[in-house]
């Protein structure tokens, strides 16, 4: 059978989609190649959040098809994901050697389409059409013993986004919000726990919008399919509502958002030790979600809370729907509910119209919030977004300078927070060998800090206490021997 190599650009949603496609292909008899040069099929799962990401994927594909042509190798090539969705046929017009363009609602068609291309039934395939219930098709996992997937796993709970931030192309590439049902999600999570997964991360473009504005009109608590069964005949509703998490709260269920009800349902799964989720929106942090951090012990004390800007004026231009005061209030509530919670964020510098005063407000908010880390992006104009045509576009040199200043501040604050761990005892979930140094093993604290330690294969999958001895760049170094004497 053919071999396939999948390269992924972008977010954790893309990583999850790539894993599901790979699992589907393996189930069909494909093998996974270690490089594009050794593969019969090469797929690039693409990102459109920034122009740089698109250009990187296009340049990579140009190199792949150019090498295959010069070496006279027959190789099927394709784009998947957000850039495929937004550009469609234009990618084949740009690169005629590309065989497949697969949109964001078509990942489950990958095996079918590759079979048609490999057997010569079709010469080119472009499919970026919408498809009903596609949100429930990304279920397969590669639990092959790799550190990334055997201990922890991503579970996609929804697709799409209704937020329409003025800088963002995601609503155009991922479509409107479409959520899976709680029974369907719980059935998948339960299967993963039975196969040894101890930590699950719930994924969505905005996970805290889960169940609020579902365009497929599904009640998130109602099972999909017939006879009370979920998708593919699993996940009966009564099974979910009778888990300890649900039965413990009874009538209080109606007072909670669908997302919090989902957290409670997953929390009741035997064998799971940790629950995380990403990415939320600050508007989704109601008191019920804040309270969930205090009362659900499996919900890890970490939150990735995208800020984007510390200026109320810029937040309004971005169409974010909150103020800096509201954002800081959420952080205060989270830290009261779960002391020691790790909080990270996303920030855009150089948004159209951003003045030096606006940028200083972002700096001041970062000083006050004291994030554990921040992912900083220089504003990138995306076609067909309102921000692309806004006046007062910030010069690239100014974006670069502000990016550097903010990065220095974030690193300074994070450095102090990481140094505070020295001498402390923390619990980590061991994932496996470090990718940079196989002689060391790696795990994560509950507040999502990476810890390296001298360990072995016997530690994989363990919840292990370690004492932090020193720090590196966004890394902690621990010693389990000291703790376990």
What is 413-443 written as a DSSP string?
HHHHHHHTTTT-EEEEEEEEE-SS-TTSEEE
Amino acid 238: pLDDT: 37
Helix (H, G, I), strand (E, B) or coil at 190: helix
Q: Which residue has the higher pLDDT, 143 or 355?
A: 355
Let me know if 435 is exposed, middle or buried by CB neighbors in 10 A (0-12, 13-18, 19+): exposed
Residue whose structure tokens are 């300074």: 412
| Under 8 Å between Cβ of 220 and 269 | no
Residue 141 in tokens: 């996992």
Average pLDDT score over residue span 361-386: 96
> Is the pLDDT reported for residue 149 higher than 90?
no
> Is the pLDDT reported for residue 233 higher than 50?
no
Q: How far is CA 149 from CA 145, 166, 431, in A?
A: 7, 35, 9
pLDDT tens, 8-23?
A: 999 999 999 999 999 9
Amino acid 132: pLDDT: 86
Amino acid 239: pLDDT: 44
Nearest Cα to Cα of residue 449 among 367, 375, 340, 365: 340
Q: How much of the chain exceeds pLDDT 70, in percent?
A: 89
Distance separating alpha carbons of residues 177 and 19, to the nearest angstrom: 22
| Under 8 Å between Cβ of 171 and 163 | yes
Residue 435's pLDDT band (boundaries 50, 70, 90)? confident
CA angle (44 as vertex; 42, 48 as ends), nearest 5: 170
Residue 329's pLDDT band (boundaries 50, 70, 90)? very high
Distance separating alpha carbons of residues 424 and 471, to the nearest angstrom: 12
pLDDT tens, 157-199?
A: 999 999 999 999 999 999 999 999 999 999 999 999 999 999 9
Rg (CA), the chain: 23
pLDDT tens, 104-114?
A: 999 999 999 99
Residue 131 in tokens: 């498809």
Amino acid 213: pLDDT: 63
Cα-flanking dihedrals φ and ψ of residue 6, to 5°? -120, 125
| Under 8 Å between Cβ of 453 and 441 | yes
DSSP 299: B
pLDDT tens, 40-81?
A: 999 999 999 888 899 999 999 999 999 999 999 999 999 999
pLDDT tens, 236-278?
A: 333 444 343 343 334 445 579 999 999 999 999 999 999 999 9
Distance separating alpha carbons of residues 445 and 461, to the nearest angstrom: 13
Q: Residue 468: which H helix or E strand, with range?
A: strand 463-472
Angle between helices 182-194 and 258-267 (to 10 degrees): 30
Average pLDDT score over residue span 403-431: 97
Residue 333 in tokens: 């509530």
Residue 220's pLDDT band (boundaries 50, 70, 90)? low
Q: Residue 313: which H helix or E strand, with range?
A: helix 312-318
Amino acid 295: pLDDT: 97
Residue 156 in tokens: 């996609």
Give the strand pairing for 441-445 and 425-433. Answer: antiparallel
> Which residues have CB under 8 Å from 286's CB, separation 6+?
257
Q: What is the pTM of this model?
A: 0.88
Q: Residue 148: which H helix or E strand, with range?
A: helix 147-150
> Which residues have CB under 8 Å from 226's CB, separation 6+?
none
Distance separating alpha carbons of residues 227 and 215, to the nearest angstrom: 23
């Amino acid at each position: 059978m053919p071999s396939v190599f999948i390269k992924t650009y972008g977010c954790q949603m893309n990583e999850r989609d790539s894993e599901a496609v790979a699992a589907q292909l393996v189930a069909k008899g494909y093998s996974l190649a270690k490089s594009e040069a050794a593969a019969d099929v090469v797929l690039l799962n693409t990102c459109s959040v920034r122009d740089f990401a698109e250009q990187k994927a296009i340049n990579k594909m140009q190199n792949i098809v150019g090498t295959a042509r010069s070496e006279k190798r027959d190789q099927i090539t394709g784009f998947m994901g957000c850039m495929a969705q937004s550009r469609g046929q234009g990618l084949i017009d740009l690169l005629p050697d590309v065989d497949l363009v697969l949109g964001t609602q078509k990942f489950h068609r990958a095996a079918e389409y590759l079979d048609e291309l490999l057997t010569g039934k079709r010469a080119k395939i472009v499919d970026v059409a919408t498809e009903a219930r596609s949100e429930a098709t990304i279920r397969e996992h590669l639990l092959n013993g790799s550190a990334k997937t055997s201990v922890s796993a991503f579970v996609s709970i929804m697709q799409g986004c209704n937020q329409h931030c003025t800088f963002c192309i995601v609503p155009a590439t991922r479509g409107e919000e479409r959520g899976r049902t709680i029974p369907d999600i719980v059935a998948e999570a339960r299967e993963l726990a039975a196969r040894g997964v101890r930590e699950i991360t719930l994924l969505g473009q905005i996970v805290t919008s889960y169940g609020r504005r579902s365009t497929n009109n599904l009640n998130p608590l109602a099972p999909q399919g017939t006879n009370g069964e979920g998708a593919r005949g699993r996940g009966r509703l009564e099974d979910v509502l009778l888990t300890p998490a649900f039965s413990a709260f009874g009538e209080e269920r109606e007072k909670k958002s669908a997302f919090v009800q989902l957290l409670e349902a997953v929390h009741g799964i035997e064998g799971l030790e940790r629950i995380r989720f990403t990415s939320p929106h600050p508007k989704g942090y109601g008191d019920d979600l804040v309270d969930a951090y205090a009362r659900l012990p499996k919900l890890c004390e970490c939150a990735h809370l995208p800020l984007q800007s510390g200026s109320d004026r810029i937040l309004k231009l971005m169409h974010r729907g909150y103020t800096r005061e509201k954002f800081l209030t959420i952080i205060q509530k989270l830290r009261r509910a779960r002391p020691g919670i790790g909080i990270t964020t996303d920030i855009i510098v150089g948004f159209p119209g951003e003045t030096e005063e606006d940028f200083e407000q972002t700096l001041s908010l970062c000083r006050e919030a004291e994030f554990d880390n921040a992912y900083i992006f220089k504003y990138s104009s995306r076609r067909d977004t309102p921000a692309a045509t806004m006046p007062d576009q910030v010069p690239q040199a100014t974006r670069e300078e502000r990016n550097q200043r903010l990065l220095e501040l974030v690193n300074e604050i994070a450095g102090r927070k990481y140094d505070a761990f020295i001498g402390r005892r923390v619990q980590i979930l061991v994932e496996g060998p470090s990718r940079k140094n196989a002689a060391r093993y790696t795990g994560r604290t509950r507040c999502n800090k990476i810890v390296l330690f001298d360990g072995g294969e016997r530690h994989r999958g363990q919840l292990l206490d370690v004492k932090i001895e020193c720090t590196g760049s966004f890394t902690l170094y621990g010693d389990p021997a000291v703790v376990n004497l």
